A and B are shown apart, each in its own frame.
Chain A
Amino acid sequence: MDDIQEILEDFLIEAFELIEQLDQDLVELESNPEDLELLNSIFRVAHTVKGSSSFLSFDVLTKLTHHMEDVLNKARRGELKLTNAVMDVVLESIDMMKTLLNCIRDNGNDTEIGMDLTDIINRLEAVSGGEEIPPPAVDKEEVIVVEEPKEEIEESDEDYSNMSDDEVEAEIERLLNEKRAETKKKKEAKKEAVQVPTTAPVTQAPTSKDNPAPPAKKQASSLEQTIRVEVSRLDHLMNLIGELVLGKNRLLKIYDDVEERYEGEKFLEELNQVVSAISLVTTDLQIAVMKTRMLPIAKVFNKFPRMVRDLSRELGKGIELKISGEETELDKSIVEEIGDPLVHIIRNSCDHGVEDGDTREALGKNKTGLIELKAYNEGNSIVIEITDDGKGLDADILRSKAIERDMITEQEADAMSDREAFALIFKPSFSMAAKVTNVSGRGVGMDVVKTNIEKLNGIIEIDSEVGKGTVIKMKIPLTLAIIQALLVGAQEEYYAIPLASVSETVRISLDEIYTVEGRNVLRLRDEVLSLVRLSDIFSVKQVYEPGEHTYVVVIGLAESKLGVIVDTLVGQEETVIKSMGDYLQGIDGIAGATIRGDGGVTLIVDIASLMDMAKGLKVNIRESMQSKSKKKTSPEDYTVLVVDDSKMDRTIMKKSMEPIGVKTIEASNGQEALTMLKSGEHDIDIILIDIEMPRMDGYTLATEIRKYSRYKKLPLIAVTSRTSKADRLRGVESGMTEYITKPYSPEYLENVVRKNTNLLAE
């Protein structure tokens, strides 16, 4: 029984593969009816399915394919002209064949759904007999008992389940031998048929002896060598690579540190070689493993020629579909998600985009509409473009429709750019169709597009010109497991934003932020961009004052855009998304976490949920960023930290500052000063630093302090007896604000402190 099961599985896999090719071939055949090679390959599919299904006793399927084979055989021999009407019948029968195969896959037999074949068989027979095609029967639901097609399957009609294993073996052997003999015969016969098609014998119902085709023999020889691997194994491999990538990041980071510390040492050269070799190999390995998971997008694209053909017949418009870039590869999981959105977009283009032939002619366009489906790589993403040369979208009509449906207010509509108006079509329950048709008009389709693309972290852009056509562009990341991310800082926390969602970063001054009806917006070229602060969304503790300028990361998801204000841009890094476990599953705004080169954890932003959260925020960014500066009025509010190992020097400095009236605290070395600063006990406004100190010298102290973003602007003043130019340079490098050389006059020090705290003498 297991043997049969195995054979059944193989049969299904093969049949589905064949059918995928079949659709493509048939549509091509229609525009190219003379192509004998195509016809032959289609015929072979029908024949193979028939042969295998009769072997497996699927009678309904056998009967159907048998009649299809008849028609195709005649066409192949040039006895039948493939008109549109004939094609319709053939295509319909192929659809039924698919349904039957699905039924076999799900139920293990082809009778479960009780499909009625009389109607289609009548029409197939009519076609093959060259008669007028009877119209399709209206009531297809009616179930009739399927009669046994005795003639064709007599050989394979025996009951295999009653046989012993040996008998089955023998039976299979016999069938194989028979087939081989037939194949040989067939090949010869075919040669003849191809050379002199008109003289080939005409048979109304060819028995399997007359017309057996080598099952998928040719197919196999043209295929590359492959093995089937479970997806879970590839997933595991991908996880391991993820770990390796993290390890590599860490190694690179350590190398940077080591390089800084042991500059000029000989071993660095060797280390460098090893590190770069490993990093190179890791990257290659990652790409190689990613490639194993890649499928050509053709897998999705292939079904569209047939779909467009059917639609164009149904709608009575001439539409041509041009596909390019179908060899572009995508991760398997993405290929599975991308199909539905494309179906909806193409349906829309056919139904709403392309006008009917007469209108097009009146407009001076080519009578046949053109839809182009294009895929190509762009950086780490893949772009899929759907272009039609139809009537295009009218932004004004979209606006008024949306107002009509209470989706937006008139004010909002006025403020909308054309592009934003185009994006309205993605709103649920929004439809431009005047009436609901079979094809579209329910306002569901484009919402599906949006949801699916969002799931993939993709971006959708629409461009359209009235009368010229519409371009829909979808940008989708190549893979979901390892992503390129932009690391940004919000106060002292870091977050990773998937780079695929980042369209640009800009540096703006606070004056450029406007508030419109409680929304913070930024005018960026011709667009108005909503703004939120990352630290508001994630309620990050405010530890330091932002400057006059700030960075905006423009993120896009599906059709919408948002400006996110961050305090620092760190850079781009390869990140591996790690789940945070069940305990922290589904936290708002967080997609997962990644481990950085230094071993720390950085959270990855979930763009879709971030955009939702942004809608609920009401913070006046400009005000909160400006008014937050603590009011320090009198000199007593200021604290000066004096760092020097000599008690006398500290006293001299304190004395010099007495006239200002500031509070002073002391530290005797760098380490102590750093601890004081970190403890946050004192609110320190300025630090005077001696260079030569035990435990930690002044340069190191300054470097350490500058590592904290909240102390980026804290005035650090070196007070030292080192006077050489090199020392001064090192001071600047380590981040000192000013450099005072000993001996100095008390007034000079006083002035420097006054200047850096804005406590000017009256």
Chain B
Amino acid sequence: MSDKLNKIFEKQQKQIDEPQKADEDIVQLVGFVIGDEEYAIPILNIVEIIKPIVFTRVPSVPEYVLGVFNIRGSVIPLIDLRRKFNLTPMNNTGDTRYIVMKGKNNTAGFVIDRLTEAIRIKKSRIDPAPETLSGEKGMIYGIGKRENSMLTILKVEALLKRDF
């Protein structure tokens, strides 16, 4: 009896382990556009992606913190990535989305111009951020090389870190 059970357990364990092994060097990302550039963040850091909703301005914070909004009972900050990246602010369009990201101890919503797609990329295809860019408060995790474009992969923990 216990032999049988053990076999089943082993089988299940195998099933759990193997797909992970296969995925080990593949990273899943979600791509989005701010200004003219495409960025991406790991899919596991995303709580949800919503259409723009009303938010409440919060006084005495930097301009890129637009305010706070209510997402199913939690009050979380809303950060405009255009302003954060020193691009000219823009009115919301039909493509504008809020991406709600979760880090270790923080959750925040980020305004992006539009979503592109879910991306699977091999770890070997990701280069570390170039020296010249790493000065940008360490927000960049790396540069993903794709067939005909480049992808800036952002560090979620850095985005969620309060820097004021």
The 9 listed contacts between A and B (C-beta, < 8 Å) are: A246-B73, A537-B59, A580-B58, A584-B68, A594-B75, A595-B73, A601-B67, A601-B69, A603-B68
Given A589-B59, A593-B68, decide whether A243 and B108 contact each other with a Cβ distance below 8 A: no
Cβ contact within 8 Å between B77 and A584 = yes
Besides A580-B77, A600-B56, 8 other A-B contacts (C-beta < 8 A): A493-B56, A581-B76, A583-B108, A583-B162, A588-B60, A600-B70, A601-B70, A603-B58
B160 within 8 Å of A (CB atoms): yes
Q: Enumerate B105-164 residues with CB–CB distance to A below 8 Å.
A: 105-108, 160, 162
Which residues of chain B come closer than 8 Å to A211, judged between CB atoms? none
Which residues of chain A come closer than 8 Å to B107, judged between CB atoms? 581
Partner of A589, one of B60, B65, B67, B69: B60
User: Chain A, 273-311, contact with B by CB distance < 8 Å: what is the 0/1 string?
Assistant: 000000000000000000000000000000000000000
B55 within 8 Å of A (CB atoms): yes
Q: Tell me, in angstroms, the Cα distance from A594 to B75 when the chains sit together.
A: 8
Q: Tell me, in angstroms, the Cα distance from A587 to B107 when the chains sit together.
A: 17
B84 within 8 Å of A (CB atoms): no
Given A593-B68, A601-B55, decide whether A580 and B61 contact each other with a Cβ distance below 8 A: no
Q: Enumerate B47-89 residues with CB–CB distance to A below 8 Å.
A: 54-61, 65, 67-70, 73-77
Q: Tell me, in angstroms, the Cα distance from A579 to B61 when the chains sit together.
A: 16
User: Chain A, 460-498, contact with B by CB distance < 8 Å: what is the 0/1 string?
Assistant: 000000000000000000000000000000000100000
Cβ contact within 8 Å between A584 and B61 = yes
Q: Which residues of A contact B (CB under 8 A)?
A: 243, 246, 493, 537-540, 578-585, 587-590, 593-595, 599-603
Given A581-B107, A582-B105, A601-B69, decide whether A587 and B58 contact each other with a Cβ distance below 8 A: yes
Given A578-B74, A581-B76, A583-B77, decide whether A601 and B59 contact each other with a Cβ distance below 8 A: no
Partner of B57, one of A493, A578, A585: A493
Partner of B106, one of A582, A594, A603: A582
Cβ contact within 8 Å between A581 and B108 = yes
Which residues of chain A come closer than 8 Å to B55, judged between CB atoms? 601
Which residues of chain B come closer than 8 Å to A583, judged between CB atoms? 77, 106, 108, 160, 162
Which residues of chain A come closer than 8 Å to B70, judged between CB atoms? 595, 599-601
A97 to chain B, nearest CB (A): 45
Partner of A538, one of B54, B59, B106: B59
Q: Tell me, in angstroms, the Cα distance from A650 to B97 when the chains sit together.
A: 40
Q: Tell me, in angstroms, the Cα distance from A537 to B58 when the chains sit together.
A: 12
Which residues of chain A come closer than 8 Å to B77, judged between CB atoms? 580-581, 583-584
Q: Tell me, in angstroms, the Cα distance from A493 to B65 when the chains sit together.
A: 16
Total A-B contacts with CB atoms under 8 angstroms apart? 72
Q: Tell me, in angstroms, the Cα distance from A243 to B75 when the chains sit together.
A: 12
Cβ contact within 8 Å between B105 and A601 = no
Q: Tell me, in angstroms, the Cα distance from A581 to B162 when the chains sit together.
A: 11
Given A580-B77, A581-B108, decide whether A539 and B68 contact each other with a Cβ distance below 8 A: no
Q: Tell me, in angstroms, the Cα distance from A590 to B65 when the chains sit together.
A: 15
Which residues of chain B come closer than 8 Å to A594, judged between CB atoms? 75
Closest 7 CB pairs of A and B: A538-B59, A601-B56, A593-B75, A588-B60, A578-B75, A583-B77, A601-B70
Given A589-B59, A601-B55, decide whether A580 and B160 contact each other with a Cβ distance below 8 A: no
Q: Tell me, in angstroms, the Cα distance from A588 to B164 when the chains sit together.
A: 12
Which residues of chain A come closer than 8 Å to B58, judged between CB atoms? 580, 584, 587, 590, 603
Partner of A580, one of B60, B75, B105: B75
Cβ contact within 8 Å between A580 and B76 = yes
Q: Tell me, in angstroms, the Cα distance from A571 to B55 when the chains sit together.
A: 21
Which residues of chain B come closer than 8 Å to A540, judged between CB atoms? 59
Q: Tell me, in angstroms, the Cα distance from A694 to B65 when the chains sit together.
A: 40
Q: Tell me, in angstroms, the Cα distance from A539 to B75 when the chains sit together.
A: 22
Partner of A584, one of B65, B73, B105: B65
Cβ contact within 8 Å between A580 and B68 = yes
Cβ contact within 8 Å between B73 and A593 = no
Which residues of chain A come closer than 8 Å to B69, judged between CB atoms? 601
Most chain A CB inside 10 Å of its own CB: which residue of B54, B68, B162? B68
Which residues of chain A come closer than 8 Å to B75, judged between CB atoms? 578-581, 593-595, 601
B63 to chain A, nearest CB (A): 12
Cβ contact within 8 Å between A587 and B60 = yes
Q: Tell me, in angstroms, the Cα distance from A709 to B59 when the chains sit together.
A: 20
Which residues of chain B come closer than 8 Å to A585, judged between CB atoms? 162
Which residues of chain B come closer than 8 Å to A588, judged between CB atoms? 59-60
Q: Tell me, in angstroms, the Cα distance from A602 to B75 when the chains sit together.
A: 10
Cβ contact within 8 Å between A538 and B60 = yes
Q: Tell me, in angstroms, the Cα distance from A588 to B75 when the chains sit together.
A: 17
Cβ contact within 8 Å between B56 and A587 = no
Which residues of chain B come closer than 8 Å to A538, judged between CB atoms? 59-60
A407 to chain B, nearest CB (A): 29
B6 to chain A, nearest CB (A): 35
Q: Tell me, in angstroms, the Cα distance from A317 to B90 when the chains sit together.
A: 75
Most chain B CB inside 10 Å of its own CB: which residue of A243, A537, A539, A581? A581
Which residues of chain A come closer than 8 Å to B162, judged between CB atoms? 582-585
Partner of B56, one of A243, A589, A593: A593
Closest B residue, CB atoms, query A594: B75
Q: Enumerate B34-55 residues with CB–CB distance to A below 8 Å.
A: 54-55
